[in-house]
Amino acid sequence: MTQKSQKNKNVTRLRVIPLGGLDEIGKNMTVLEYGDDMVLIDAGIMFPDVELPGVDLVLPDYTYVLKRRDKLRGIVITHGHEDHTGALPYLLRDLGVTVPVLGTKLTLGLIGVKLEEFKLGKQKLREVRPGMHVSLGVFGFDFIQTNHSIPDSVALLVRTPVGNILHTGDFKFDQTPVDGRVTDYAALAKAGKDGVLLLMSDSTGAENQGYTRAEANVGATLRRVIASAPQRVIVASFSSHIHRVQEVCDAAVADGRKVVVTGRSMINNTKIARELGYLHIEEADILDAYDAGSLPPEKVVILSTGSQGEPLSALARMANGDHRTVQIQPGDTVIISASPVPGNEKAVSRVINRLFKAGAEVVHKGVADVHVSGHAAAEELKLMLQMVKPRYFMPIHGETRHLYAHTHLAQAVGMHTDDIFVLENGACLEIDEDRARIAEHVEAGVVYVDGLSVGDVGDVVLRHRQQLSSDGVATIVIAIDGQTGQLVGDVELVTLGMVLGTDTDEMVAEAKARIIKVLTRTQREGVTDHSVVQKAVRESLSQYIWERVRRRPMIVPIILEV
């Protein structure tokens, strides 16, 4: 072996390992490892789509981190969105050791609530501010102020033994931000001047041409829509989009309306943001939904969760007519101030259709300027590349098409193809002072959270088999009139693998009666959407069987339209 070969064999390389966030939108998590030191950037979740029935959350598989917990010097969070923070309680619980968690003030405030829910006890939450420098083992972190759709977002300049890495986090270049916090362009330019070995940059908006519109545009539209609304206004948005919440509050107060908050996460996040000074509205102008019943409808704006059509969200419950405190009335205006996350388009469309049927006027991104992205578009991404001028480039945070679109932008500004690395989750990028290369693939993947069960669900088929083996299956066959939603003929109930006791006939008859009662209600309300009818039947029958025999069988409603 030559002296040069021996030297290359013994050199310590920086390892960059994404465990989530690539080929997808969500569960962002990246490992940086050098010798005996390791840090983690972000720990997010992803919400399941329709192909994962029964799954509540999707976590990145962080087994690689658990096996090397003795090397973990800290976890750094770029901002407070759940696709960057949601896996943190699970990770901290599984680690079994206390490690520093670094984040800005609002980010830690949102994290703290989640950790309390998990009863994890005291954790090392370490607040950082833009401009600060923090050392974690051999890694040094400089925090750079950026703009995103949540306050207190930061980019990370990571100083490593082989060179500097710039991790942008989620960002856009907004010149008129709602909170006045503009991106620290000087810090980014200085990082580029000092030398950036690797740029890891947000790719979500890489397919969008030009520049992302300013958040202030949405504020102007919200003020106009709210001021012209004849009755109540209901605004559905992400609960963590504090800038948007502030704009809704400002528009409501300007029109002489009170703000009513509903939805668990919206209530929690607005409370935290107000306590920490990120949301500004007088105490007298913001109310709980239970206290707003006596107000005239033209004096109310309701802030709600449910912009993604989630079945149990506040807006979906309003659309279905089963919200505890808010019922949609003819003349109400509903503003959906968000874009559907890929995979949620059908769910959002169903909610919009139900709202229209209930008599509401629905305003969404397709008809008005009520939402702008929090992610940089193509020209902003090229500007980032030009300011930083990295030696190597790795697009992050996006589906495969976004990563490759970002690759083309890097090539357009002069980067060589050999210096651009499009990775997949679990791939390891090794970098030393001479070169970068893709090394071995480490253990990565997904972990499903199903109720209190974490990681026990390998896939949907396994979950169904487990449910069938323990509680059986009940199939309900229903024929309904496609125009009126009225029941046609009798209800057929077939059970397999279920123990119903000695009074089987009586129980089946009572179950059918309950189903007919539900169908009568949905028909009276004019519901013809099969998914709504199926959900109502499933919930009613599931509750009845639980009351009688304490079992949760798989319930399969089959709707035949005649």
Residue 74, sorted as left (phi over 0), alpha (psi -120 to 50) or beta, turns out to be left
Beta carbons within 10 angstroms of residue 446's beta carbon? 19
C-alpha span between 13 and 405 (Å, rounded): 29
C-alpha span between 164 and 174 (Å, rounded): 25
| Rg of the Cα atoms in the chain | 26
C-alpha span between 73 and 176 (Å, rounded): 37
Q: Which of 148, 375, 402, 406 is catalytic?
A: 375
Strand partners, 476: 493, 557
Beta carbons within 10 angstroms of residue 251's beta carbon? 24
Whose structure tokens read 């407070």?
80
Please, are residues 107 and 85 in contact by the beta-carbon 8 Å criterion? yes
C-alpha span between 185 and 519 (Å, rounded): 60
Q: Are strands 163-167 and 139-145 parallel, antiparallel or unpaired?
A: unpaired
529 has catalytic annotation? no
Measured CA to CA in angstroms, residue 76 lies from 96, 395, 396, 436 at distances of 18, 19, 16, 24
375 has catalytic annotation? yes
Structure tokens given for 305:
């969760």
Q: In this structure, which long-range contacts are made by residues 263-266, counting pairs with CB atoms below 8 Å and at least 24 apart in sequence?
A: 263/239, 263/303, 263/304, 263/305, 263/306, 263/313, 263/314, 263/315, 264/305, 265/239, 265/240, 265/305, 266/239, 266/303, 266/304, 266/305, 266/314
Q: Which of 174, 202, 250, 471 is catalytic?
A: 202
C-alpha span between 75 and 47 (Å, rounded): 22
C-alpha span between 440 and 189 (Å, rounded): 34
C-alpha span between 525 and 288 (Å, rounded): 28
Query: Catalytic amino acids?
Result: 202, 375
